[in-house]
Structure 1
Amino acid sequence: MKYVIGVDLGTSAVKVLLMNQEGKVCHEVSKSYPLIQEKSGFSEQDPHEWVEKTTLALKDLVEQFDGDVASIEGISFSGQMHGLVLLDDNNQVLRNAILWNDTRTTEQCQQIYHLVGEERLLAITKNPALEGFTLPKLLWVKQYEPEVLEKAAVFMLPKDYLRYKMTEQIHSEYSDAAGTLLLNIAEKAWSNEICDLVGLDPSLCPPLVESHGFVGELTETFAQATGLAKTTKVFAGGADNACGAIGSAILTEGKTLCSIGTSGVVLSYEETKDRDFGGKVHYFNHGQEDAYYTMGVTLAAGYSLSWFKDTFAKTETFEALLDGLSEVPIGANGLLFTPYLVGERTPYADATIRASFIGMDASHERIDFARAVIEGITFSLNESIEIFRESGKTIDTIISIGGGAKNETWLQIQADVFNAKIVKLSSEQGPAVGASMLAAYGSRWFNSLQECAEVFTAEDKVYEPIPQNVEKYQALFTLYKDVYQQTKGLNEGLKSFRKN
């Protein structure tokens, strides 16, 4: 039997997955690492932590494996998008990585619009200038830490730095590069035009390869540290959302994914590079060659629920917290929640807005609040689906993965709010499976990623929308959308009172 490893470098932990040729998960190991949040809006990590914890996770995985390590033929990656890692001429890290959920760069986003122009930026990158993207981070460093940028020889994305430390080869690939605001999405090339307009040296941009591209073998040092064979082939990998799409078989026209992790995304496959959403949703290169996907983002999806649990039920499990969820009526007995704990991405791109509970009274119990949080997260994701439908896309079947796929009541809520059939997969490991599939395809086990998906993915259960529930949720969704406009000014006023 042959095997591959998928490495998912997430925001809070790295997960490594060993899969065999039959698409079965044989072993899984996860190691966590901390966020560094020195100021409000700042979110950083030490890249060395990624390497250290991944090394330990792979070592544990190999120790659990009772076969010949040489039969582990390939390894590939999924990674948190947009993060900025800067290396000097000796490929040494110059500062902590600035992460996707860092919101310090509002000023730099305005600079990009001034220097490039909003229309030209959308024409080249297919995306608006948002705080989470990589280019605003580069401009922040240029403005506030010029001595750091002067020493920089190359920028890297998180999983690409991890892969470099395993192979000593520097690359990026299109699905992650698409989230930098420096890639010409249609031409699949770094944009010298944008680099020139914002005053960055194009040589900072790493060489580009396909997600399934072979980029080298493990170094002797890394092989010894993990117990893996030095002959293990290393493949480029993809952005976490692209890998989540691959691992959920979102590989043909008409396929849509809802993934609820720390953030939440609604992602839909695109065959062409020229659809125009006017920057309302993201438009990225897929991990499948010459394919694309559109994506809307809720910044605090699963995070909203974990925040609620940690604040009001810290010692309890999620199962205990949600016990009785199905018995609470639609609308949580007149309670609405907007999941803007850290601002919002789609459709508002607002770093100042914050969350609200609307309609509280003395009759509400904790489970009503829990139901309202779950409905609010789902409403936020539905705003992305609404944009897709308004553009002419048909969204009638959605694969649901992540935290939202772990609770049957929440899966039915998704079906009713989205007014679409919701499919739960029989074995759902998200982006780590997509990374494993890229390694399997790169190792030439299959002729295509679609062929690989037929072996590595399978449907488990389908949830159909219930017409009377759909009608109630449509009325509630109209009220939900009003909350943003009604609280926007209030939150702008409250900004000066927040912790710095």
Structure 2
Amino acid sequence: MEYVIGIDLGTSAVKVLLVDRNGQVRGEWTEPYPLYQPQSGYSEQNPEDWVEKTMVALRQVVQTANIDPRSVCGLSFSGQMHGLVLLNEKGEALRKAVLWNDTRTANECREIEERVGVDRLLSITQNRALEGFTLPKILWVKKHEPQLYQQAYTFLLPKDYVRFRLTGQMAMEYSDAAGTLLLDIRKKAWSREICELLDIDERLCPPLVESTSYVGTLLSDIAEQIGLSANVKVFAGGADNACGAIGAGILSEGTTMCSIGTSGVVLAYEQTATKDFAGKVHYFNHAKPNSYYIMGVTLAAGYSFDWLKRTFMPEISFSEVIHQAAESPIGANGLLFTPYLVGERTPHADAHIRASFIGIDASHTKWDFARAVMEGIIFSLNESVEIIKRSGKKMKSIVSIGGGAKSHEWLQIQANIFHTPIEKLKNEQGPGLGAAMIAACGCGWFESLEECAATFKQVEQLVEPQEDAAQRYQELFHVYRQIYAQTKEINEQLKKFRN
């Protein structure tokens, strides 16, 4: 039996999957690493932690699965997007990595849009300048840490840095490069124009490869330490959302995915980069060559539900909260929640807006509040669904992954609010499975990612929308969409009172 490995470098941990030719996970191992937040708005990690923990996880997954290491023929990567890893000429990290959820770069975002121009930026990158992207982080280091910037030889994104350390080969693939705000996503080349307008040396930008590209083998000393053959083929891999899309089979027109983790994502396949969404949703290169995906983001999706439970019901299990919330009627007895706990991304790129409960009544119970939070998360994601549908896309179904796929109640609320059938997968492993699929195709197991998905993706359940509930939710969604505009100014005034 042959195996491939998918490595998913997340924000809190690295997860390694060992997968066989039938798409069955035969072993998995997770290793956490610390997050550094030295002050408000800062979010950093030590790149050496990623390398060390990835090697530990690789060693453990092979040992615990009790397989012949020579039976592993390939591996690939998925990883958190946007994080800046700045390297010197020796390939050494000059500082801790600045992560996707770091928000220190508001001034740099304004500078980018002023110097490049919003319209020109959108025409090249198809995305607005937001704090999470890589380019604002480069400008921040240039401005605030000039001595480090002067030593910089190149930069990589998190999973590309780990791959470099394991193989000695330095490159960035297109699905992650699209999230830097430096890539011309149509031409699949670094934008010389943006670099010149912002006085960034284009030589900082690393070589570009396809997500499916073969990039080499493991370094001999690395292979020895983790207990694998030095002949294991390594493939570039993709951004976490791109790999999550591969794992969910989002590889052709009409396919869409909803992922509810800490943040929430609605992602739809797109064959071209010709549509104009005016920056309301993200538009990135897919890990499938010569294709794209459209993505809307809710910053505090699962995080909102976790906050509610942690703050008001710490002694009650998640499953019990969901079960009891389902007993509350549609609309939570007239209670709405906007999940803006840490700001919002789609369609309101607003770092300062904050969450609201609207319609609180003395008769409301904690289960009504739980129901309102669940519905509010899906209402927020539905804003992205509606934008994508208005572009002319047909959604025959939506694949649900992450925390939102773990209970029938969540799945039914999604089906009703999105007014679309929801697919629950039998073996949902997220981005790590997508990375393994890239390796499986690279090793010649399948002719294409689509052929691989036909074997690896298995639908366990299809949840149909309930028409009466869907109509009721359409009325509520109309009310929900009014809350942002009517609370924006109030939140601006409240900013000075927050710690």
Matches within 5 A, 1:273-288: 273-288=273-288
- 1:144 alignment partner in structure 2: 144
- 2:66 alignment partner in structure 1: 66
Distance 2:439 2:384 in 1: 31
Describe the SS at the equivalent of 2:243: helix
Matches within 5 A, 1:24-43: 24-43=24-43
Q: CA deviation at 1:316?
A: 3.9
Distance 2:150 2:459 in 1: 51
- 1:128 alignment partner in structure 2: 128
Q: CA deviation at 1:370?
A: 1.4
Matches within 5 A, 1:8-23: 8-23=8-23
- 1:477 alignment partner in structure 2: 477
- 1:44 alignment partner in structure 2: 44
Distance 1:75 1:280 in 2: 35
- 1:182 alignment partner in structure 2: 182
Distance 2:33 2:360 in 1: 37
Q: Deviations for 1:131-164, whole angstroms, at most 9, x for unmatched residues? A: 1111111111111111111111111101101111
Describe the SS at the equivalent of 1:460: strand
Q: Deviations for 1:140-189, whole angstroms, at most 9, x for unmatched residues? A: 11111111111111111011011111111111000000001000000111
- 2:172 alignment partner in structure 1: 172
Query: Unaligned regions of 5+ residues in structure 1, if any?
Result: none
For the Cα contact (< 8 Å) 1:396–1:419, is it kept in 2? no
Instruction: Return 469-478 or 312-321, whichever deviates more.
Output: 312-321
Distance 1:456 1:182 in 2: 34
Distance 1:241 1:289 in 2: 15
Question: 1:93–1:316: structure 2 CA closer, same or farther, 3 Å change rule?
Answer: farther
Q: CA deviation at 1:334?
A: 1.7
Q: How many residues are paired up?
A: 499
Q: Deviations for 1:284-313, whole angstroms, at most 9, x for unmatched residues? A: 100001011111111111111122222223
Q: Which amino acid aligns with 1:256?
A: T
Distance 1:407 1:34 in 2: 30
Q: CA deviation at 1:315?
A: 4.3
Q: Deviations for 1:55-105, whole angstroms, at most 9, x for unmatched residues? A: 111111011122211110111011111111111111111111111111111
Distance 2:103 2:79 in 1: 19
For the Cα contact (< 8 Å) 2:322–2:409, is it kept in 1? no
Matches within 5 A, 1:327-338: 327-338=327-338
- 2:343 alignment partner in structure 1: 343
Instruction: Return 359-368 or 425-434, whichever deviates more.
Output: 359-368
- 1:154 alignment partner in structure 2: 154
- 1:360 alignment partner in structure 2: 360
Q: TM-score, normalised by structure 1?
A: 0.98
Q: Which amino acid aligns with 1:300?
A: A
Question: 1:104–1:465: structure 2 CA closer, same or farther, 3 Å change rule?
Answer: same
> Is 2:462 aligned against 1:462?
yes
- 1:202 alignment partner in structure 2: 202
> Is 2:84 aligned against 1:84?
yes
Q: Deviations for 1:235-264, whole angstroms, at most 9, x for unmatched residues? A: 100000100110011101111111111111
Distance 1:151 1:477 in 2: 51
Question: 1:45–1:316: structure 2 CA closer, same or farther, 3 Å change rule?
Answer: farther
- 1:372 alignment partner in structure 2: 372
Instruction: Return 30-39 or 245-254, whichever deviates more.
Output: 30-39
Instruction: Return 303-312 or 173-182, whichever deviates more.
Output: 303-312
Q: CA deviation at 1:34?
A: 2.3
Query: Unaligned regions of 5+ residues in structure 2, if any?
Result: none
For the Cα contact (< 8 Å) 1:385–1:395, is it kept in 2? no
Question: 1:315–1:13: structure 2 CA closer, same or farther, 3 Å change rule?
Answer: farther
- 2:299 alignment partner in structure 1: 299
Q: CA deviation at 1:317?
A: 2.9
Quote the RMSD (CA, aligned, Å).
Answer: 1.2
Describe the SS at the equivalent of 2:478: helix
Q: Which amino acid aligns with 2:192?
A: N
Distance 2:321 2:421 in 1: 26
Distance 1:36 1:332 in 2: 38
Q: CA deviation at 1:366?
A: 2.1
Q: Which amino acid aligns with 1:162?
A: V
Q: TM-score, normalised by structure 2?
A: 0.98
Q: Deviations for 1:398-426, whole angstroms, at most 9, x for unmatched residues? A: 11111100010110000000011111111
Instruction: Return 354-363 or 393-402, whichever deviates more.
Output: 354-363
Q: Which amino acid aligns with 2:135?
A: L
Describe the SS at the equivalent of 2:114: helix
